[in-house]
Amino acid sequence: MNTALRQYLSRRNYEQGTQPSGARHRASNEPLRFVVQKHATRRAHYDLHLEVGGEFKSWAIPRGPSSDPEDTRLALKSKDHSLEYGEFEGSVPDGECGAGDVIVWDTGVYSPDGDGNFFFGDREEAEMRVEQALADGRLSLFFWGYKLAGSWMLELREGSEREWLLVKREDVFAEPARDLLGEERSVLSGRTLEDLRDEATDVEARRRRA
Ligand code: MN
């Protein structure tokens, strides 16, 4: 495990006392969380993580989300992630799974909204509905994040097992003209991926001089 990630996890454990991570969320009635990481691998992409059942269900979105309802984006189902990993920001070293710099591009809470009802205040019902919708290959969900907001559709492409499509649904939060991906800074630290890379370069330069 890389140093930044280990530090992050130990800090979390400290903040949460001796509770096993994840337990806090299952025990509470807080809304379900989502995270979108921007991930600089050989091909930079966005990773969407939806909290359900004590972990993150995850999709890689090569071109990133769009707030234009006319603009459907491919979302490739990836492996599930632990809640810790999905919130991570920093550098994953070469040779490790997911190597490359990562920022938390957006985060917030979400609720299934398929029948026009929200379940921000009922975690159990929300999780049940999300699990069922994912099994059915069609999840309508409402994001309440720093950048993503309103109703979105995540739908399994017909005949595919891995290819989903993410599209903004028509509502007051749809903004066809908005340059969503131009809002490139981490919502946690204000850093861009370039900032992260420059910091890593500085650390390396200092190490060489030492
Ligand atoms: Mn990724």
Q: Measured in angstroms, how far is the CA atom of residue 60 from the centroid of ligand 1?
A: 6
Q: Measured in angstroms, how far is the CA atom of residue 5 from the centroid of ligand 1?
A: 15
Predicted confidence pLDDT, tens digits, the chain (210 residues) = 455 555 554 554 444 444 344 444 555 789 999 999 999 988 899 999 999 999 999 999 999 999 999 999 999 999 999 999 888 999 887 777 778 899 999 999 999 999 999 999 999 999 999 999 999 999 999 999 999 999 999 999 999 999 999 999 999 999 999 999 999 999 999 999 999 988 878 888 888 887
In angstroms, the CA 74 to CA 37 distance is: 16
Which token pair is 59?
Answer: 């999709």
Reading phi first (left if > 0) and then psi (alpha if -120 to 50, else beta), residue 138 is in beta
Q: Measured in angstroms, how far is the CA atom of residue 45 from the centroid of ligand 1?
A: 6
Identify the pLDDT of residue 20: 43
In angstroms, the CA 39 to CA 33 distance is: 19
Q: Measured in angstroms, how far is the CA atom of residue 200 from the centroid of ligand 1?
A: 19
DSSP state of 154: E
Q: Measured in angstroms, how far is the CA atom of residue 48 from the centroid of ligand 1?
A: 9
Q: Measured in angstroms, how far is the CA atom of residue 209 from the centroid of ligand 1?
A: 33
Q: Measured in angstroms, how far is the CA atom of residue 165 from the centroid of ligand 1?
A: 17
Give the global pTM. 0.85
DSSP state of 96: S
Q: Measured in angstroms, how far is the CA atom of residue 98 from the centroid of ligand 1?
A: 6
Q: Measured in angstroms, how far is the CA atom of residue 57 from the centroid of ligand 1?
A: 13
Q: Measured in angstroms, how far is the CA atom of residue 81 from the centroid of ligand 1?
A: 11
Beta bridge mates, 73: 166
